[in-house]
């Protein structure tokens, strides 16, 4: 139900590109997301940051359907301390305006700061192939996704054994499984996320494309930190 609402509100806004404002779509399908809120204005930003800051500051991201790669335009700031939240809010909006003066700006997302020390950034995505239908993709995420192109795909719906096999299939699998004395990440969490995304796109044919990038995988769990989707 919540998932349907998210998609319908996008339709009402007459946009087919959604970003972190669609985070609830993921949590409606049981995919873990970081604590976060979208705010409109410095005061709201400060109040939200106070609630969300667990001691390492917060992450702030511009929320705009016109900005696909937020960090490329300086639209993501990590580890923002309380006293810099208001200024950062202004900076993010200014950078978005400089990038595209008529960009639709929905606000700024204030997100819980995750500890990426023991984490691996992965990507879980989907796009519809005219011949095969919905293809679910898994691979190494974050800034590495383009550079290393270490990804694998399966046709949705993806079964549990298939989701497990997807992890085996990428070259960076050892990175997830504790290479070089690293602690292995929550592989079951990754497998579940692949399956849940597969279920989501099977239930909603209107979703043409969806990327969770990154899905942060840590030894204690996974978290979908960023999402982008295109709807019909
Ligand atoms: P975009 O892909 O649009 O540039 P992301 O939301 O993916 O924006 O953020 C870019 C990068 O910032 C991520 O790949 C990650 O390394 C870091 N990051 C984003 N959100 C968080 C967070 N909540 N905690 C820690 N690091 C984060
Ligand atoms: Mg991203």
Locate the domains of the chain by residue range.
Answer: 2-112, 120-231
**Homologous superfamily of 120-231 in CATH?**
ATP-grasp fold, B domain (3.30.470.20)
Of all protein residues, the one whose alpha carbon is nearest to atom 6 of ligand 1 is: 226
pLDDT at residue number 13: 80
pLDDT at residue number 165: 98
Place of tokens 């997301």: 33
**pLDDT tens, position by position, for the chain (232 residues)?**
888 988 888 888 878 899 988 899 999 999 999 999 999 999 999 999 999 999 999 999 999 999 999 999 999 999 999 999 999 999 999 999 999 999 999 999 999 999 999 899 999 999 999 999 999 999 998 777 777 789 999 999 999 999 999 999 999 999 999 888 889 999 999 999 999 999 999 999 999 999 999 999 999 999 999 999 999 9
Q: How far is CA 59 from CA 4, 89, 105, 112, in A?
A: 27, 11, 17, 6
Q: Which residues pair with 155 in a beta bridge?
A: 135
CA–centroid distance, 20 to ligand 2, in Å, is 10
**Could you tell me if 179 and 13 are in contact, meaning their C-beta atoms sit under 8 angstroms apart?**
no
CA–centroid distance, 227 to ligand 2, in Å, is 7
69 lines ligand 1 (CB under 6 A): yes
User: Ligand 1 pocket test: which of 116, 225, 227, 229 has the largest number of ligand atoms within 8 Å of its C-beta?
Assistant: 225
User: Could you tell me the two tokens for 57?
Assistant: 């500051």
> Closest ligand 1 atom to the C-alpha of 72?
4
> Closest ligand 1 atom to the C-alpha of 111?
23
The CATH class for the domain spanning 2-112 reads alpha beta
CA–centroid distance, 59 to ligand 2, in Å, is 13
**Could you tell me if 173 and 179 are in contact, meaning their C-beta atoms sit under 8 angstroms apart?**
no
Check if 2-112 and 120-231 are the same fold. no
196 lines ligand 1 (CB under 6 A): no
Q: Map residue 80 onto helix, strand or coil.
A: strand
If you ran DSSP here, which 8-state letter would residue 124 be given? E
CA angle, residues 124, 224, 214, in degrees to nearest 5: 55
pLDDT at residue number 6: 86
71 lines ligand 1 (CB under 6 A): yes
**DSSP calls for 111-168:** EEPP--TT-EEEEEEEEEETTTEEEEEEEE-TTHHHHH--EEEEESSPPHHHHHHHHH
Q: Rounded to an integer, what distance in angstroms lies between the CA atom of residue 82 and that of residue 86? A: 8
> Closest ligand 1 atom to the C-alpha of 142?
14
pLDDT at residue number 83: 98
């Amino acid at each position: 139900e919540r998932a349907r609402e998210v998609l319908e509100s996008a339709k009402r806004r007459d946009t087919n590109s959604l970003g972190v404002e669609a985070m609830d779509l993921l949590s409606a399908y049981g995919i873990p997301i970081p604590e976060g809120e979208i705010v409109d204005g410095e005061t709201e930003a400060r109040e939200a940051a106070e609630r969300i800051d667990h001691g390492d500051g917060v992450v702030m991201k511009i929320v705009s359907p016109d900005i696909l790669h937020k960090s490329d335009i300086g639209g993501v700031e990590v580890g923002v301390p309380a006293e810099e939240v208001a200024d950062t809010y202004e900076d993010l909006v200014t950078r978005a305006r400089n990038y595209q003066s008529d960009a639709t700006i929905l606000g700024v997302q204030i997100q819980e700061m995750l500890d990426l020390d023991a984490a691996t950034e992965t990507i879980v995505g989907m796009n519809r192939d005219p011949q095969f239908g919905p293809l679910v993709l898994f691979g190494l995420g974050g800034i590495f996704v383009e550079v290393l192109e270490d990804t694998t795909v399966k046709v949705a719906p993806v079964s549990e054994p298939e989701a497990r096999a997807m992890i085996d299939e990428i070259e960076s699998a050892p990175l997830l499984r504790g290479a070089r004395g690293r602690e292995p990440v929550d592989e079951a969490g990754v497998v579940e996320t692949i399956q849940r995304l597969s279920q989501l796109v099977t239930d909603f044919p209107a979703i043409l494309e969806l990327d969770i990038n990154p899905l942060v995988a840590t030894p204690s769990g996974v978290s979908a930190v960023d999402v982008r989707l295109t709807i019909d």
